[in-house]
Amino acid sequence: MARILNGMSIDVEEAFHASAFEGEIDPSSWSGFEPRVGPNVERLLALLDRHRVKATFFVLGWVAERHPDLVRQVHRAGHEIASHGYHHRLIYHQCRQRFREDAGGSKKLLEDITGEAVAGYRAPTYSITRQTLWALDILAELGFQYDSSIFPVRHDRYGIPGAPRFPYRFRTAGGRSLVELPPTTISLAGFNLPVAGGGYFRLYPFAATVAATWYVNRIEQQPAFVYVHPWEIDTTQPRLTRDRLRWWRHSVNQHKTFDRLARLLALRRFGPLRDIVASLPDEPAAVLDAPALERGSMPGRRGAWSRTAAPRYETGSDT
Ligand SMILES: [Zn+2]
């Protein structure tokens, strides 16, 4: 049996862009910090190259504007360049017009740098929630083909509990559609636990990521989506806050992240997210719209395209 292709993504930003420091580090002071993203992206490029893996780099516009050569370097190495927005503002802190400018501006900037169309978007801190599903309408209007921002979990900053755990097609109010690729979770006792990215990848024992990706691939027959940030492998970065809990969440097990990623790359098959979108069937079993996601009443809470009797979500029905 062919191994399932999983999605590997890097959210390219500086440590001070992380939402953990929102309210503490003002965006007007960002330019005053030492840039550290370049060398860490280059380490990730070398690691991916060693494992012959192409990934998706969701690049923040703010970073791309200051490091266009870095974006070109990633693109030349054969990786997918996608958008992480421009200013790393949480979507539910923006109005629609501002969001349109932020997402559209980042897309245009990246396309100007690489000469290639940008297909994917990931919201800062996964901030597409029930209250901001209009963001998907705008992304589709801007020409994005997929989004990877809806975490099917309960969390204080993000998430839509009950949203599908696996890829599905989202139909916008305007009649367009795009594919949604949710970051990987494991369903345990009625709760979805995030397992394969960012702080969760660092915090849990590595064996948990191995077991979770095995379960998703082999038992659920679905792709897993793993994400890391360049600052998560930066073990010599300066401390950005006096707040002990915040710094702990930001830095826990950073010294293990690079090695864990290397081991995961050796263990599972990975590719860029656009390849997974391309491999999905033309006629997905599940097409969801905003009312269905707002209700959170999807039967079985499973995503579409499962090879094992995928549930068929009827748009607008209340099951
Ligand atoms: Zn981010």
Q: Ligand 1 mean position to 13 CA, how many Å?
A: 6
pTM of the predicted structure, to 2 decimals: 0.91
Q: Ligand 1 mean position to 190 CA, how many Å?
A: 28
Q: Ligand 1 mean position to 125 CA, how many Å?
A: 5
110-131 burial, b for 16+ CB within 10 Å, e for fewer? beebbeeebbbbbbbbbbbbbe
- Alpha-carbon distance of 271 to 274, in angstroms, equals 8
The H-or-E segment that residue 108 falls in is: helix 96-114
Q: Ligand 1 mean position to 15 CA, how many Å?
A: 9
- List the pLDDT tens digit at each of the 319 positions of the chain: 578 999 999 999 999 999 889 889 999 999 999 999 999 999 999 999 999 999 999 999 999 999 999 999 999 999 999 999 999 999 999 999 999 999 999 999 999 999 999 999 999 999 999 899 999 999 999 999 999 999 988 888 888 888 889 998 899 988 899 999 999 999 888 788 998 888 888 889 999 999 999 999 999 989 999 999 999 999 999 999 999 999 998 999 999 999 999 999 999 999 999 999 998 876 655 678 888 887 765 544 444 333 333 333 222 222 2
* Residues at Cβ < 5 Å from ligand 1 ion: 11, 13, 124
The H-or-E segment that residue 121 falls in is: strand 120-121
- Alpha-carbon distance of 213 to 263, in angstroms, equals 13
Q: Ligand 1 mean position to 250 CA, how many Å?
A: 12
C-alpha dihedral, 245 to 247 to 250 to 255, nearest 10°: -120
Q: Ligand 1 mean position to 219 CA, how many Å?
A: 31
Q: Ligand 1 mean position to 23 CA, how many Å?
A: 15
Domain 6-22+33-301 is found in CATH 3.20.20.370: yes
Q: Ligand 1 mean position to 82 CA, how many Å?
A: 13
- Alpha-carbon distance of 12 to 22, in angstroms, equals 17
Domain borders along the chain are 6-22+33-301
The CA radius of gyration of the chain, in Å to the nearest whole number, is 18
Q: Ligand 1 mean position to 92 CA, how many Å?
A: 15
Q: Ligand 1 mean position to 198 CA, how many Å?
A: 10
Pairing mode, if any, of strands 168-171 and 177-180? Answer: antiparallel
